Structure 1
Amino acid sequence: MRASAGSHRTFLYVRVSTYDQAEYGTSLDGQRDLGIKFCAEQGYADPQVRVEVESAGEEKIERRKELRRILSEIRSGDVLVCRDLSRWSRDQVFAVHSVRQMRAKGVTVRFYTQPFLDHVPGAPIDLLGIIAWTAENERNATRERTMGNRRRLRANGAFVEGLPPLGYMVEDRRLMVVPEHALIVGRIYTDSANGVSVRKIVDWLRIEYPRVVVGQTKKHVMQWTTNNVLKILRNRLYTGYMETAANGRKRTTEPGSGKWIQTHEAIIQPALFEQVAQGLSARKRSGRTVENSLTHGWLLKRVAKCAECGYTVRASADRRVRGGEGGYYLCAKRCDPTKYKDRTPCTNKIAAPWREADAVVEAQVLAHLDGLVHELSVERPAARAEPVPDFKRLAAELVEARTNAVRLVVKGIISEQDAAKQLTELKRDEEALEARRVEYERRQTHDTEEARRAAFAKLTEYRGVWARLSAADRRELLSELAETVLLTASGDIVIEWRPVTDVAASMGGLEVELTPLATVLSDAA
């Protein structure tokens, strides 16, 4: 197992809003092909393509896993490429804030169908804000029209929630019982009410009903997983009642803001539904908590990610070994691909023994802490006072050069091909200037002697009490020191450490929420 540093990367973000677009349309393929071609033309590195099938509205941001992964992984010098601003987000506040925040970090953000949104330092008009505002207004108007129609239809008892639950089909927007499937739903509820665990229910469903075909227009085989069975057990539609408004609802199984009215034939009696709900809640409360989990003390839990797919690595305890002594780190997408939208198992089949992996990573963390402490302890030579660059003047010169290139094309003095080459070179000059400005401001605000001294003191103390830190504090400290922690297909743990200046800025600025050292020492005593 080894640690290594990475180079600048290119991320290509591709998104559509619905599964129909993703499965039958050409939007995903078109965005991917054009984005890869654009990256090649601009001389960027081969992009990491991140595909998302989700709405871009404000209320869906927490469900956009790929977008949040990019925001957590991207760093100074990287490039983000997207088709246009609406593909990134239609929420005004989030779109403007996230793009500006990335550019402030030194990330190059390019929208290849909207070159006028390319960042020009010192430009008098914020086109990014204007476009985001327009997209937000368009989204709000569409949502109001759609939600108004849905509220009216729900009040009349129409089903407008998408795919019907198992046991029903939709005819003229009304839920109709499918008898053979209703028998399965009834047995699931009966077994749960009798105390049968969800896992055992899944086991007999897979044996007795391996191929239950559901769907009307798009038929598919029902996947018997714990999550799908829980969705059935928590869906109040089976009682024959439907909610008239879904405002505030995060999931279809959660209550909204409307009234429950009887609209269709029931498969489950309300009393049985309430009995099952109480049983599930009681079993959840009596289950393992975070503190007594078998994997609570594992160092890489919720920290490491799969190097193949980028998703979180699962900490899986071997219950055959008493006390959680046995267990492995596995790719979560490999273990249960049905939880992910593409439903494709990850190719990473490695199962890394947790004790071996934790021991190797712990040794690397301690060695890295020693290196950081030594580097921060060395007094840097006094830097010569350098003149403050006039970034506004330099940016204005680049804007003037771009305007002149366009003017020469209009007058026919140069060809469009020559102008395109000049504009491409100017774009690279603007990106280099912006990166230089960000680096200069970072040195002036973060890379100070005060921050380095504070970070030196904090890291020295935590190095001394590492053995007495809680598992949660160790994970928090590792997350602060490392850019990424990846589990490879060969079983290696590859760690990309953050630059010492970034660590000094965050640790010196007290941004790490670890247990106070006084508490650690007093508890140990």
Structure 2
Amino acid sequence: MNKACYIYLRVSTDEQAKEGFSLDNQKRACVEYAKNNGYQIKSAFLEEGKSARTVERPEFQKLLKAVDDNPVDSVIVYKIDRFARNVADFSRIRKEFRNKGVSLISIVEGGDVGNGLIGNIFASVAEWESEVNGQRTKDALRQKYRDGWWPGWAPVGYKNIRKNNKKIVVPDPITAPLVEETFNLYSTGNYSYVRLSKEMFSKGLTARNGKMFCDSSLQQLLSNPFFYGLMKWGGTEKTGNHTPLITKALFDQCQLTAAKHRQFLIRQRKHNFLLRGIVFCSEHSSRLTAEWHYYHHNGYKKDRIGYYHCYTPGGCPGSFIELEDMEKRVANLFKNFQFGQEFTELVRQKIRKHFEGGRKTFKSERQIIVNQKRAIEKHRNKLEDLLVEGVIGRDVFKRQHIKLQEQINNLNDRLVELEGRQKLDINLVDEVLALTRNIHQTYLEAPPHLKRHYLRFFFEGIYIKDKEITRVVETPVFATLRRQNHIIIRSHLLPRLDSNQQP
């Protein structure tokens, strides 16, 4: 009658697989040993990518449960360090096996290691090797970091490759442009984390688990300096050798945008009042809130009137001002501003460069999408061939075909969006040129979302008292342009101008 056994196989890294410890090699040796020694294999437990320093391994736990529920004559392993690299764990589990009458056999160590001193000696050697290997790994990672290479897994937008016998991080041709676009979109200030996650997910940018980025994960991505070339590891900072996906200027702009979002609490609102977060009460230095007052009979010319006012407890009568009056007074501030000729010419030069670079970027992004589409179409065509040849069934074909077609449709949508974005760039350039010619008129003709951009470009805050603008606080950008005479101000018509950012 054949004896019964379980076999346990483990590999922790690709390197071990290449060095002869692959699961296939281990299984071949264990099966051959079982056959030659009259064992019938009841079950095989295969563990991939797990360290033997701990017993908390899924397949190892299944083995222990199998030994408890259905004891066998022996458990066969290729080598003791495949089973355990910790003397305490090895001794404890070996004793449990012995109490159940189960022997532990290691092929490399020459047979039964469940009894006597020899098993503990081999386990001690395995534990020592594990500690030495662990220290060597840490030292190698430290040296890799010192040499300017990222020692860990590549973040989204990059991939790990082996080049000249060294593992390095390089931009991923598919996700790198999407990460760059994520930074560009967020820097505009028009996107919350939720909206940006949905937008980029529709374009193919996913977290490592293949799902849409959650708020915290997207925040971590947008605040990771690795993308502009700075590595942080082990409490130190160093400029890496990897290719940056963005500039330091774009990264800093995103951090400023995040700070402003925290200040202005950007979110979807039922009533999105134009001056919310910009106008303040001079008396209490608090932001003015806005609300509609509705009238439900015919005695009034309007069905509703909007008001800005201070929300300080106890009331602040001097802060109440009608919405239209307030927005008109703010719009009139722009009558006092005019860009200088030198700055206007500089903007035109930048626009010319923008057009030149934009055309190149458009062609590059379009080619990436086309290449992705071709690859998926090739996969779809191969799937159709497999159906015709009878290799796959109709259910599998339908499921995979629908998935591939959805991906193709998404890429087609991205192509349309890319074309539309190029047209939008032209409209934006026209808007910028108009702004340099006549700031006030451009502001009046701008849609609400552009008006908010103009307001935040010029003003940190506008202070109100008794329905009058008493003080305006300029942004650092506006202050710099003013000091360099790039913006001409008719100051005698302007309320007190303050570059101090504190109210």
Q: Which has the higher strand share?
A: 2
Q: TM-score range by the shorter chain?
A: 0.3 to 0.5
Q: Normalised by the size of structure 1, how large is the TM-score?
A: 0.37
- Bigger relative contact order (CA 8 A; separation at least 6): 1
